[in-house]
Amino acid sequence: MTGAPVTFTLDTPGADYPHDVDVPVPGDRDRADLHEALWVYGYDRASSIGYYAYLVHDDSNHARRRETVCVFLADGTRLVHTGEGEKSTAGCAAGDCLSLTCIKPFRRWRAEFEGTMARLPANPAAAPGNLEPSVATRLTLDIAEPATPAWNVERGWGDSLPAFRYHQLHRARGMLSVPGRTHALDSICFRSHSLRTRDLPGFAGHAFANALFPGGRAFGLLRYRATDRLPERGRGFVFVDGVLHEAEVRAWPHLVSDRSEGEAILVALDGRFGIEVVEGVTIGSVFSTIGADGRAWGIRGGGNRGYVLSSAFASYTWRGESAIGQLDRSAPRSRFAAR
């Protein structure tokens, strides 16, 4: 069953959490099994530039954060970076080159990255695992102007407080600098913050997708494939006329292709509003393979352990409007041919 609709105002975040859960805390927590992760994931349609930034703490040392940053440039260039560090302070999660700072819970964050990034080949799926960084890059974002309430993607099936996971859409402005070019950014930004136990044994894949449309409507979903122990699970939302409605997910895009663009996407969400269908097509992706040795760029298919992750943008169409939004998916390595 879906929950009651939530009317959005700037005075109420909409998530059923206390505000202080949105503030990252450096170092150890009372429960060592809780795994904290933060994302910002946005696209500036005017400049055709996208960005993805991810911070997660190291399970063996909660003061250390592992970072991943991807930049999608208008000419098709894709830049990537991974690293780790222990630069977090109160209210600021930071690795080595990337920091995400909570200015006002659920209302305003700041993202900063300054480092050297590697350039992916034209076919991101065939990228060599390790790339030589060569592109000095600086990205700054003021993630303000929340466009939707934060929504609880795990109500009724995930962990209870102090564990949590929510998603939220914002408008974010900032600057991107690469050699010879500086771009002003005015983007739609997806933000996620989670603190929860991880269910990696038998992990079978996931997807989250979301977009904010010019008229103010938005949709989103998080879905997990069924495992040997757990059924398929996850939920979606539809945001229409200032009201957030929870939704059951009837159709969602599994990761089955190594295409970096041009893949057709279908989402169907069902709730008090009826059934809404969103269609889309991918416009740019990066792939990485996560295994016992960490992250390697490209698809490393075959084998019984690890999974392939696709971080992408898609052009979505819904009720006659179009928007560019996020699409993040994974699947076991065994579903892809060995390279």
Does the pLDDT value for residue 7 go beyond 60? no
Tokens of 265: 């996407």
258-267 contacts, C-beta under 8 A, 24 or more apart: 258/125, 258/287, 258/299, 258/336, 259/125, 259/285, 260/123, 260/124, 260/125, 260/284, 260/285, 260/286, 260/287, 260/312, 261/285, 265/209, 265/314, 265/316, 265/327, 267/209, 267/219, 267/221, 267/236, 267/316
Does the pLDDT value for residue 268 go beyond 80? yes
pLDDT above 70: percentage of residues in the chain = 89
* Domain-terminating residue out of 198, 229, 259: 198
Task: Please indicate, yes or no, whether residues 225 and 124 belong to a single structural domain of this protein.
Answer: no
The whole-number pLDDT of residue 227 equals: 86
75: left (phi over 0), alpha (psi -120 to 50) or beta: alpha
Q: Which of 16-20, 74-78, 290-294 has the lowest mean pLDDT?
A: 16-20
Task: Please indicate, yes or no, whether residues 237 and 297 belong to a single structural domain of this protein.
Answer: yes
* Domain-terminating residue out of 146, 168, 198: 198
Q: Which of 10-14, 93-97, 216-220 has the lowest mean pLDDT?
A: 10-14
User: Would you say the C-alpha torsion 241, 244, 246, 248 has a positive or negative sign?
Assistant: positive
Rounded to whole angstroms, the Cα distance separating 313 from 331 reads 17
Q: Identify the bridge partners of residue 152 per DSSP, sorted by sequence position.
A: 166
Query: Shortest CA distance to 320 belongs to which of 211, 213, 212, 240?
Result: 213
Q: Identify the bridge partners of residue 297 per DSSP, sorted by sequence position.
A: 288
Rounded to whole angstroms, the Cα distance separating 51 from 40 reads 8
Task: Please indicate, yes or no, whether residues 228 and 188 belong to a single structural domain of this protein.
Answer: no
The whole-number pLDDT of residue 53 equals: 98
Q: Which H/E stretch holds residue 55? A: strand 49-58
Does the pLDDT value for residue 280 go beyond 70? yes
Residue 246 covered by a domain: yes
Residue 179 covered by a domain: yes
Highest mean pLDDT pick, 3-7, 124-128, 163-167, 329-333:
329-333
Query: Which tens digits make up the pLDDT trace of 12-50?
Result: 555 566 778 889 877 656 677 778 899 999 999 999 999
Predicted confidence band at 78 (pLDDT cuts at 50, 70, 90)?
A: very high
Highest mean pLDDT pick, 8-22, 188-202, 288-302:
288-302
Selected residue with higher pLDDT from 302 and 176? 176
Residue 266 covered by a domain: yes
Residue 319 covered by a domain: yes
Task: Please indicate, yes or no, whether residues 64 and 147 belong to a single structural domain of this protein.
Answer: yes
Query: Which tens digits make up the pLDDT trace of 96-135?
Result: 999 999 999 999 999 999 999 999 999 999 888 789 999 9
Task: Please indicate, yes or no, whether residues 193 and 205 belong to a single structural domain of this protein.
Answer: no
In this structure, are residues 168 and 8 in contact, taking their beta carbons and an 8 Å threshold?
no
Query: Which tens digits make up the pLDDT trace of 46-60?
Result: 999 999 999 998 878
Does the pLDDT value for residue 10 go beyond 50? no
Q: What is the count of structural domains for the chain? A: 2
Mean per-residue pLDDT of the chain: 89
The mean pLDDT of 209-230, rounded to a whole number, is: 93
Name the residue range of residue 252's domain. 201-339
Tokens of 229: 């122990």
In 292-320 the beta strands, taken as DSSP E runs, fall at 294-297, 307-318
Does the pLDDT value for residue 165 go beyond 70? yes
Tokens of 121: 């080949």
Query: Shortest CA distance to 113 belongs to which of 135, 90, 91?
Result: 135
Residue 253 sits in a domain whose CATH number is 2.40.370
The whole-number pLDDT of residue 128 equals: 85
Residue 120 covered by a domain: yes
Task: Please indicate, yes or no, whether residues 65 and 191 belong to a single structural domain of this protein.
Answer: yes
Query: Which tens digits make up the pLDDT trace of 309-326?
Result: 999 999 999 999 999 999
Q: Tell me the whole-structure pTM to 2 decimals.
A: 0.93
Task: Please indicate, yes or no, whether residues 178 and 325 belong to a single structural domain of this protein.
Answer: no
Q: Would you give the DSSP letter of residue 120?
A: P
Task: Please indicate, yes or no, whether residues 31 and 166 belong to a single structural domain of this protein.
Answer: yes
Does the pLDDT value for residue 1 go beyond 60? no
* Domain-terminating residue out of 151, 168, 198: 198
Task: Please indicate, yes or no, whether residues 224 and 110 belong to a single structural domain of this protein.
Answer: no
Task: Please indicate, yes or no, whether residues 27 and 161 belong to a single structural domain of this protein.
Answer: yes
How many other β-carbons are positioned within 10 Å of the β-carbon of residue 338? Answer: 10
The whole-number pLDDT of residue 76 equals: 94
